[in-house]
Amino acid sequence: MGDPEPVIETHGLSKRYPGGRPAVNGLDLTVPRGSVFGFLGPNGSGKTTTIRMLMGLIEPTSGTARVLGSPMPKAVRTVLPRIGALIEGPALYGFLSGRDNLLRYDAADPTADPRTRAARVTDALDRVGLTAAAGKKARAYSLGMKQRLGLAAALLQPRELLVLDEPTNGLDPQGMREIRSLIRELASEGTTVFLSSHLLDEIEQVCSHAAVLNQGRLVVQGEVAELAATARGRLAVTTPDTGAAARLLKERGIAGVTVADDDRVIGELPPEGVELADINAELVRAGVRVRGFAAERASLEDAFVALTGEGFDVAG
């Protein structure tokens, strides 16, 4: 038996707005069933436009998209009830409480059983940590609380696919950790999660697979561990003698040597055949006070820079 059909599959998916460069350009995307799939790119790289096409909210200029095995936007009426989504922040009624907002969302779902509505809403509020604020009017919610409430709305029914556009936007670090933990839990229950983010560490922490988008084009996609491995790791030396350490590393053929902080010197890992222990010993012999010496594995950010030749500008 082959692999199950992807949850999302696009071929040549493009969106061009009049008078501008393509917002999305020839996108070939494959999201495996059961994955937590990170859709990664600087702000303005085309992530939200792609999601809007996948959800049938806007028509592509060219190319095709299949979601849960059906063509979009043609099959939007049969596909959307199987998807939970949080896109561009939730639409909330400010004059209603958090609980009443969810009751209204649930009542608008023709597949929802009214007899179990209250229990579903209570459970969704609990899962996103909003039980204590359930009676508070939504207009008094912080941005992070609104994000949680939007996520609760997406979780009112069991969904095959959860599409989250920047789900930790506005959350404090504790809130971020809670939402990431919830995403992992949902994936372990069998929900495929498609998560767009400009936060590289977010993708690295929660995602099994990722695609990197830059200026509307797909740079790379695959398993997160493999993507990070496309970039070489680096050597990091912690020392108060940064100048002397940097000079010696350059003399020993270490490429890309820079002084990163007041007490850190960073460079590429040495070429094959050069032992790290020998370099460390040479630093010490030269009178460099070495407080830390480590080979750090490559991060997704390193991979992004290696693939695009530019920094990951989150303000983009």
Pairing verdict, β 70-72 and 217-223? unpaired
Domain hosting 272: range is 234-297
CATH number of the domain that 238 lies in? 3.30.70.100
User: Are residues 249 and 198 part of one domain?
Assistant: no
pLDDT score, position 266: 83
Q: Would residue 183 count as lying in a domain?
A: yes
Q: How far apart are CA 316 and CA 46, in angstroms?
A: 11
Q: How far apart are CA 246 and CA 242, in angstroms?
A: 6
pLDDT score, position 260: 79
DSSP string spanning 232-268?
A: --EEEEE-S-HHHHHHHHHHTT-SS-EE-SSSEEEEE
pLDDT score, position 316: 32
CATH number of the domain that 25 lies in? 3.40.50.300
Q: Give me the residues paired with residue 238 across strands.
A: 264, 292
Sheet of 209-214: strand order equals 83-86, 161-165, 192-197, 36-40, 209-214, 217-223
Q: Which of 24, 26, 29, 27 is nearest to 7 (CA)?
A: 29
pLDDT score, position 219: 85
Which positions of the chain have pLDDT values less than 50? 1, 314-316
Q: Which pTM does this prediction carry?
A: 0.76
Distances (CA, A) of 176 to 58, 158, 183, 308: 30, 22, 11, 28
User: Are residues 252 and 172 part of one domain?
Assistant: no
pLDDT score, position 257: 85
179 alpha carbon, distance to own chain's centre: 12
Q: Give me the residues paired with residue 295 across strands.
A: 235
User: Are residues 103 and 36 part of one domain?
Assistant: yes
User: Are residues 160 and 283 part of one domain?
Assistant: no
275 class by beta-carbon count within 10 Å (0-12 exposed, 13-18 middle, 19+ buried): exposed
Q: How far apart are CA 79 and CA 92, in angstroms?
A: 23
* Number of structural domains the chain divides into: 2
Pairing verdict, β 209-214 and 8-15? unpaired
Q: Would residue 315 count as lying in a domain?
A: no
User: Are residues 38 and 177 part of one domain?
Assistant: yes
pLDDT score, position 123: 94
